[in-house]
Structures are given as structure tokens and as C-alpha cells.
């Protein structure tokens, strides 16, 4: 296993570099970069001022900028160097976990990610836990009662939830329960109330849960179908295996067959996806849900960075998310061996 882990870690390096290089190359051809945006502001007669190195500043007018001023402006954003040099410098900084500073906010990329992380973690972790806690028992019940009225009715509901986009469900929830046209049971947005600091510990917890009911509901309902049907199909496949008929012939109870034999084998494909899903929950960002419920999370941060051409934020967050995704995939593969000793990476078993 050690050789396999080492090989995967070595393969992770070119994969990560390839993703960064492809994104960096695409960025070079995207119009409306930070230099163009600043030139437009400076030449439109606004009060915009670009601070340059050496203590000076640029204040434009409607007659445009001189070549010397353009050179200073490019140096301000680091575009005075060739693309290859900038890419090598960026990768070197990333290896030291220096993600750079935002072009448009007086903060580092690391500070921005840490600042937005609690919102995305709230959505991601609640969605993750509720999906597993609801879908696995529901999927087992549907497998045991395959073809029954319960199976048919529950399938209709979860497929309807899957068919409705999360942001559409969010709008519907706001109309019904957010004071839109019917009841004002929950707040329209935000993660906590404005006077949250003055609450007691219990009040803070309840206020947080009160604010998160609608966005979590909009996020989690669409995830029920895939996990529930996957659980049902896996358990159905195990229930129909020969060892189950043999156990029944020996007189074992259905409860013992289900929980001692079927459950252990059927949970293997579900558990193996657990590490990646859990790790991904920390960095889940949903732009539409965050925008709809006024939640300032990673999804909104990434969208604004792309629209504003805030390249350090785009590349820094891409580096972090890609690295986490590749490590999560490795953990998922390793979990196969931990839960199923029949699997071996060298192919001998």
C-alpha cells in the first residue's frame, strides 16, 4: 500500500500543475483584466487612483495614459513579467502556501478563504450529514419493501425533489416561509441575526439553526435521490445473492441476515465515498444558494473573483480546491482496502 500511496502522490503533482497551467493559460486570453479595468477607470474622468511601487500614484484623465504610466500600471499588477516567469513564481509561492494578495481587496487570498469558509462549511457539513442520515435508512427501507406502496410513493417524492433545482426550491421556500406572500417563519437571509453577539450561548445556537433551515433545505433536497437510490440498489443486489438464501435456509432471522451479513457488504460502496464527501463538505460553495439567502461564502467569492478578474483569488482558490479534491480521491481509493480486505492494489487478490 505504501508504494501505491507514493505513486498516487507523485501523480498528484503533474495533475495539479496541469490544471493550474491550463487555467493560467486561459486567463491570458480573457479580456477585461485588472490593467484594462484600471485604465478604463483612470481615463473616464473618475477619481480612481492607482498606487504604484515607490510611493507614487497614477491619476488618469480622459486623454489616456502615457506609455510610462502604462508600464507602471502593469508592474503594479505583476504583468510586466513574461507569462512563464509569472507562472513559475506563482507555483513557487503556492508550494510555500503563499496564495498571494487580492487585486481589489486589501486582504490575502488565505484571509479571504478563511473569512468565507464558515458559511460554506455550514452548508456543506449540514448537507453531508443530513444526506447520509436520511438517505441510508430510507434506501434500506425501500430495498426491504421493494415494489410496495411505500417504495413507490417515496420514489415519487425524492424524484420530484431531484427534478427541482435548488435555487428554485429556495425561492419557493422564501415565498412560503420567508415572509414573501404567506408566512414569515424564517429570516430572509444571513447566517445569524444582527444582534447575535448579545445573545446567550443557547440563543446563539438557536438563532444560527433558525437562519440555516431554509438554505440547508434548498441545498439538501436535491441530493436525496442519488444517495437513496444508490443505497436501495446496492442493498437489493446483496439481498438477492446466494448467501442470503443459504442463511434463510439455515433458519436465521431476517433481522440478523440484514444487519450482520447484508449490511456489512452493502455498505462498502457507500462508505468508500464517505472521505471524499466529508472533505468536500468543508469547501462546498453554492453560488445561487448563497446569493439567494445573502450568505457570503466561497461560491460567491469565486464568482466575484472571476467577474472582476481577480486572478490571485481565482488561482489561489483553484489551487486549494484542486489539491483537496485530489487528496479526497486518494482517501476514497484507500478506504476500499480498509473496508474490504479482498481488494488489493497490486492485483494479487
> Domain residues of the chain, as ranges?
2-100, 110-339
- Checking if the pLDDT of 41 tops 70, the result is yes
Q: Is 131 exposed, middle or buried (0-12, 13-18, 19+ CB in 10 A)?
A: buried
Neighbours of 168 (CB within 10 A): 14
- Checking if the pLDDT of 135 tops 60, the result is yes
Mean per-residue pLDDT, 219-230: 85
Cell numbers placing 136: 441510508
Mean per-residue pLDDT, 72-95: 84
Cell numbers placing 33: 483584466
More reliable by pLDDT, 309 or 42: 309
- Residue 174: the pLDDT is 85
- Residue 153: the pLDDT is 92
Mean per-residue pLDDT, 1-26: 86
Mean per-residue pLDDT, 25-49: 72
- Residue 55: the pLDDT is 44
Length of the chain: 349
Mean per-residue pLDDT, 326-349: 70
- Checking if the pLDDT of 6 tops 70, the result is yes
Mean per-residue pLDDT, 318-340: 80
Element (H, E) at 276: helix 274-281
Percent of the residues in the chain that have a pLDDT greater than 90, as a whole number: 3
Mean per-residue pLDDT, 266-289: 72
Q: Are 227 and 135 in contact (CB under 8 A)?
A: yes
Neighbours of 313 (CB within 10 A): 27
The CATH H-level (homologous superfamily) assignment of domain 110-339 is MetI-like (1.10.3720.10)
Spatial distance between the Cα atoms of 335 and 338, rounded to a whole number of angstroms: 5
- Residue 105: the pLDDT is 83
Percent of the residues in the chain that have a pLDDT greater than 70, as a whole number: 87
* Alpha-carbon distances, residue 209 vs 52, 82, 203, 267 (angstroms): 46, 50, 10, 31
Segment among 13-22, 72-81, 136-145, 230-239 with least mean pLDDT:
72-81
Q: Are 267 and 235 in contact (CB under 8 A)?
A: no
Mean per-residue pLDDT, 173-182: 78
- Checking if the pLDDT of 287 tops 80, the result is no
- Checking if the pLDDT of 121 tops 80, the result is yes
- Residue 261: the pLDDT is 80
- Residue 62: the pLDDT is 41
> Mean pLDDT for the chain?
80
- Residue 54: the pLDDT is 43
- Residue 345: the pLDDT is 60
Mean per-residue pLDDT, 185-202: 81
More reliable by pLDDT, 55 or 200: 200
- Residue 257: the pLDDT is 83
Q: Are 203 and 197 in contact (CB under 8 A)?
A: no
- Checking if the pLDDT of 339 tops 80, the result is no
- Residue 80: the pLDDT is 78
How sure is the predictor about 52, in pLDDT bands with cuts at 50, 70 and 90? Answer: very low
Amino acid at each position: 500500500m505504501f508504494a501505491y500511496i507514493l505513486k498516487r502522490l507523485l501523480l498528484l503533482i503533474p495533475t495539479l500543475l496541469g490544471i493550474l497551467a491550463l487555467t493560467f493559460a486561459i486567463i491570458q486570453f480573457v479580456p477585461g483584466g485588472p490593467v484594462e479595468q484600471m485604465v478604463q477607470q483612470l481615463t473616464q474622468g473618475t477619481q480612481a487612483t492607482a498606487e504604484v511601487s515607490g510611493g507614487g500614484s497614477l491619476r488618469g484623465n480622459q486623454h489616456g495614459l502615457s506609455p510610462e504610466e502604462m508600464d507602471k500600471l502593469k508592474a503594479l499588477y505583476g504583468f510586466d513579467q513574461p507569462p512563464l516567469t509569472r507562472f513559475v513564481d506563482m507555483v513557487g509561492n503556492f508550494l510555500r502556501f503563499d496564495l498571494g494578495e487580492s487585486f481589489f481587496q486589501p486582504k490575502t487570498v488565505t484571509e479571504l478563504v478563511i473569512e468565507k469558509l464558515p458559511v460554506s462549511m455550514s452548508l456543506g457539513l449540514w448537507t453531508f450529514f443530513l444526506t447520509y442520515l436520511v438517505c441510508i435508512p430510507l434506501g434500506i427501507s425501500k430495498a426491504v419493501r421493494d415494489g410496495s406502496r411505500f417504495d413507490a410513493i417515496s420514489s415519487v417524492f425524492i424524484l420530484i425533489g431531484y427534478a427541482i433545482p435548488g435555487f428554485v426550491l429556495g425561492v419557493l421556500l422564501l415565498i412560503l416561509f420567508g415572509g414573501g406572500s404567506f408566512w414569515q417563519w424564517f429570516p430572509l437571509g444571513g447566517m445569524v441575526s444582527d444582534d447575535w453577539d448579545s445573545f446567550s450561548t443557547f440563543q446563539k445556537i438557536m438563532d444560527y439553526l433558525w437562519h440555516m433551515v431554509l438554505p440547508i433545505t434548498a441545498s439538501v433536497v436535491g441530493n436525496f435521490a442519488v444517495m437513496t437510490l444508490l443505497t436501495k440498489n446496492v442493498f437489493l443486489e446483496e439481498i438477492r445473492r446466494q448467501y442470503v438464501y443459504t442463511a434463510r435456509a439455515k433458519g436465521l432471522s431476517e433481522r440478523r441476515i440484514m444487519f450482520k451479513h447484508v449490511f456489512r457488504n452493502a455498505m462498502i460502496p457507500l462508505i468508500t465515498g464517505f472521505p471524499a464527501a466529508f472533505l468536500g463538505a468543508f469547501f462546498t460553495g453554492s453560488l445561487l444558494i448563497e446569493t439567494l439567502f445573502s450568505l457570503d461564502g466561497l461560491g460567491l467569492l469565486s464568482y466575484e473573483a472571476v467577474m472582476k478578474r481577480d486572478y490571485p483569488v481565482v488561482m489561489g482558490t483553484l489551487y486549494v480546491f484542486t489539491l483537496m479534491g485530489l487528496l479526497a480521491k486518494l482517501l476514497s481509493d484507500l478506504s476500499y482496502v480498509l473496508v474490504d480486505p479482498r481488494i488489493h492494489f497490486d492485483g494479487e487478490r
